[in-house]
Structure 1
Amino acid sequence: MTTHSVLIPFLPTRPEQILPYAGLVHWTQAHRLWQGQSLMVEPHQGFVHAAGAGFRVPTGLGVTLMPLRHPYEAALQARSLALATGQPVTAGFGPGAPSLQQALRGAPYRSPLTAAREYLTAVRGLLAGEHVRIDGDYVTCDAQLAPFPSAPVEIGLGVLRPAMARLAGEVADVAITWLTPAAYLRDTVLPALREGAAKAGRPVPRLTAMVPLALARKDRTAGEIALASNSAHLGLPHYVDMLRKSGIGITGTDRELDARALVEGRGFLSGDVAELVAQLKEYEEAGVDEVVLNVTGVANCYGPQAASEELRTILSALA
């Protein structure tokens, strides 16, 4: 059974802005509250603020960027969040763009796959209470996180293409995708996840898909909202490659044309309530375990209150 969760559809500049979305998870059937990497209110602190305000809900970090913190700090922050909320945490990680890697490390990762393998291996061991000894190409750690019981912390890996999906199958509990059409998940990502899990002799990770969407209205243009949601991603080489592999023929240069192609190719979902429910059903049929409703485009075009109302409407229909 596929669960449905909520993504905070903007980067909060004040922690109280998170509360309406935490309330949606608290008061509806939404499974988890997610936030991507923020350089405003950092996700761990924002979620703890919500817990302090009375909204102790399961949370997902999807994804935080590896160059920002050492694996020890990553494990410490994830467990601290689980301790503060008393609820399960999905701690997702990703290598980030080469430009970020260059800015913070002095050079991009020569192998993002190796960097992610070392990073997640260290975080997993630390959260398990092990003394982690790694002297790798990208991660050095000779330390132990003091054991203490907490709510469960799952390790997630951001996944777009088959190689990272195979790695997630080997080392992650959850594969987290963004902007990936249902058919691409079914035909490309899930087989790679299964291949990696079989190689490592472990269960296939759960698959969580961040799905951008918006209700169709007479005063709206789906392409405009898709562009407001994903303009930056449509210019990044790894997203362009993934979308082309999924059958969406984007140019990588003409953002408006590419946004329309995204809608036509079901990378961005648009329709009335019944149509959105049917389109989201395709993710369940594709084998996705958790769909995260992403109304960032609505928030960017019409504001956070409109985004909150949109989520409430969609969640009610899904119920």
Structure 2
Amino acid sequence: MVKWTHAERLWQGQALLMEPHQGFVSAAASGFRVPVGLGVTLMPLRHPYEAALQARSVAMTTGHSVVAGFGPGSRAFQAGLLGAPYASPLTAAREYLAAVRGLLDGEVVQNEGRYFNISAQLPPAAAPRVDVGLGVLRPGMAGVAGEFADVAITWLTPPDYLRDILVPAIRKSAEEAGRPCPRITAMVPVALERAQVSASELALASNAGHIQAPHYIDMLRRAGVQVSGEDPGETARALVEANAFVSGAPEEVAALLDQYRRAGVDEIVLNATGVRKRCGELEAVNDLKTILAAVAP
């Protein structure tokens, strides 16, 4: 669809069944060489050197630009892989992004940090641009994105919360750091209305794991979404009401997505996972085709 429509980039989040890097390379080998984005892979899974190497390898294989987004993941995930969670996820993200950006820029990166000790350089190679992204849910990480990221990547963030909280925090941090404001990419779960399944059921299928994670619950509460973390069905309904999960007729979906643009978002990622899980692959593809047509320039 990226190759044959006006969609601009193929995005994939972290997967634990098949790594997204390999998925992109497989698609490229099958003849589908398109710009791609990783939103986001989890820092505990790979050292910054390997992260830079993997991202550049995808750029070289596809022949297109890559947005390599990273995030610390949940505290439970950190502890499971590292033995203990990051005492300061913000510090870990600063060190990680600075190292990856430096390596991709061909620098000799020498960093003795709290979490990452590096003295290394990637071998020089001609490759399309790799932008470094950071997953952003709350103001603290928005500040880190403004300091170090090329792209700030959000997920499940209502447009009003982006407009009032995250976008100003990103812009303020970038200005204080004396650097351009990162582009802002909002990953938005979407579904067209259908008779056989409700929007809240699709929202739950799309986000069941996220809405039980403490950092997502905290973000949603900051956004004014009334969630307890104890009733997933209730939380899913609240996501729909807050337009964190976008659904409706095609023209309604287009209007709701425009709220993200007006909130300061540069790129919207359409995620039809809920439709795929409840209604099948063909239904998900048809939803994406219809929504892309509704928002055609």
- After TM superposition, the score normalised by the length of structure 2 is 0.98
> Which stretch shifts more, 217-226 or 56-65?
217-226
1:252 to 211, 229, 233: 229
Letter in structure 2 aligned against 1:27: W
Paired position in structure 2 for 1:143: 120
| Cα drift, residue 148 of structure 1 | 1.2
2:202 to 225, 238, 243: 225
1:195 to 162, 172, 178: 172
Letter in structure 2 aligned against 1:81: V
Q: Give the unaligned 5+ runs of structure 1.
A: 1-23
**Helix, strand or coil: the match of 1:57?**
coil
2:226/2:238 contact within 8 Å kept: yes
1:183 to 151, 154, 160: 160
| Cα drift, residue 217 of structure 1 | 1.5
1-structure distance, mates of 2:200, 2:77 = 28
**Helix, strand or coil: the match of 2:229?**
coil
Letter in structure 2 aligned against 1:78: A
1:162-177 alignment, distance < 5 Å:
162-177=139-154
Paired position in structure 2 for 1:63: 40
Are 1:92 and 2:69 matched, yes or no? yes
| Higher RCO, Cα 8 Å, sep 6+ | 1
Residues 135-157 of structure 1: per-residue CA shift (max 9 Å, x gap): 11101110100111210000000
Corresponding residue pairs, total? 296
2-structure distance, mates of 1:66, 1:295 = 25
Percent identical among aligned pairs is 61
2-structure distance, mates of 1:266, 1:309 = 21
CA-atom RMSD in angstroms? 0.7
Paired position in structure 2 for 1:127: 104
| Cα drift, residue 266 of structure 1 | 1.1
Q: Give the unaligned 5+ runs of structure 2.
A: none
Letter in structure 1 aligned against 2:280: G
| Cα drift, residue 264 of structure 1 | 1.0
Paired position in structure 1 for 2:273: 296
**Helix, strand or coil: the match of 2:268?**
strand
- After TM superposition, the score normalised by the length of structure 1 is 0.92
| Cα drift, residue 220 of structure 1 | 2.0
